[in-house]
Homo-oligomer: A and B are copies of this chain.
Amino acid sequence: VAELEDVTSAVVIADASVAALYGKRATDSLSAAGMAASLIDFPAGEEHKTLRTVHAVFDRLFAVRPQADRRTVIAALGGGVAGDLAGFVAATALRGLRWVQCPTTVLADVDASVGGKTGVDHEAGKNLIGAFHQPAGVLMDVETLATLPEEHFRNGLAECVKHAVIRDASLLDFIEDHAGRILAREADILTDFLARNVAIKAAVVSADEREAGERAHLNYGHTIGHAIETHVGYAHIRHGEAVSLGMTAANHLAVERGLLESEAADRIEDLLKRLGLPVRREGLDAEKIWQIMQHDKKAVGGQVRMVLPVMIGQVAVFDDITPAAVRGAVAALSL
């Protein structure tokens, strides 16, 4: 990447699990490229994607020798949490250092690596503290997916189904046709599959750099999904699981409104199940979920906005979501 030519030092930021697996390989290759390389790890898990962890990373970043300066680059090595957290550190260290995303999960490959969103969670909700900070580059290595735990691998597939539903019916066919090979992590099918997903994400994001219009479509499955994550606690549900539930609930709501044929909703639900993603969950409190949705940072003036599918491959944004409709959709998740 041309804009990284003057880099003299690199700081790799990864959670403790990824640091143990790939930390040395990353710093060794950076050293071999002539940079002073350091590694900072932080506790693994979305529950550590907080301002407290950012503070701890800053303490270590400012103690690195040679000292970090404006020619230092941050490498975010790992999944979505590492990208969000290390990206936010890069956005705010010395008022902005350049950074490179090195995703090691499906979710980070297809989702977090595009768009420049960085940030951390707050008790009041997900990603409430953050900044837009585009990475100078993304280094994707399909090989790192081989060691990804099964549940993390499946977790990332939820965003892939999302991409198909919001933009590309033929991608849904592709996933249905190749679900077995994808789940077996065959390298050639994964390369094609991830590339198709990154292309959709990048097209949506570049059409709309500041999220005023089209980019909102990426929130399909995320409005109720985020609320479920906040409700049950980030430590107790994976992001992809919450999105899978959020898409199922959104589909239910869309069918109830007469927007979407129930056959399409069933087809998406069947595919999510084949991919090992949840479409039902006990113990969800619809009233609490509604309250959390009203506090979502995408809510404007307390009004809830949702992205609903009108057919596979096409969605629209609705501002007139009622508490009753959300209650019905959440109730359907425990049927």
Q: Cβ of A257 < 8 Å from any Cβ of B?
A: no
Residues of the B chain whose Cβ atoms lie less than 8 Å from the Cβ of A51: 51, 54-55, 58
Q: Cβ of A213 < 8 Å from any Cβ of B?
A: no
Known contacts A54-B51, A58-B129, A124-B63; decide if A297 and B70 are in contact (CB<8 Å). yes
Is the Cβ of B70 less than 8 Å from the Cβ of A300? yes
Specify which of A59, A62, A295 lies most central, judged by the most chain B CB atoms within 10 Å of its CB: A62
Residues of the B chain whose Cβ atoms lie less than 8 Å from the Cβ of A295: 62, 67
Is the Cβ of A92 less than 8 Å from the Cβ of B301? no
- A 275-312 to B, binary, CB cutoff 8 A, 1 in contact else 0: 00000000000000000001101111110000000000
Interface size on A, residues (CB 8 A): 41
Partner of A128, one of B62, B131, B299: B62
Q: Cβ of A130 < 8 Å from any Cβ of B?
A: yes
Q: How far is the CA of A65 from the CA of B138 in the complex (A)?
A: 40
CB distance from A159 to the nearest CB of B (A): 19
- A 104-141 to B, binary, CB cutoff 8 A, 1 in contact else 0: 00000000000001010011110111111000000000
Q: How far is the CA of A67 from the CA of B122 in the complex (A)?
A: 14
CB distance from A214 to the nearest CB of B (A): 17
Residues of the B chain whose Cβ atoms lie less than 8 Å from the Cβ of A132: 95-96
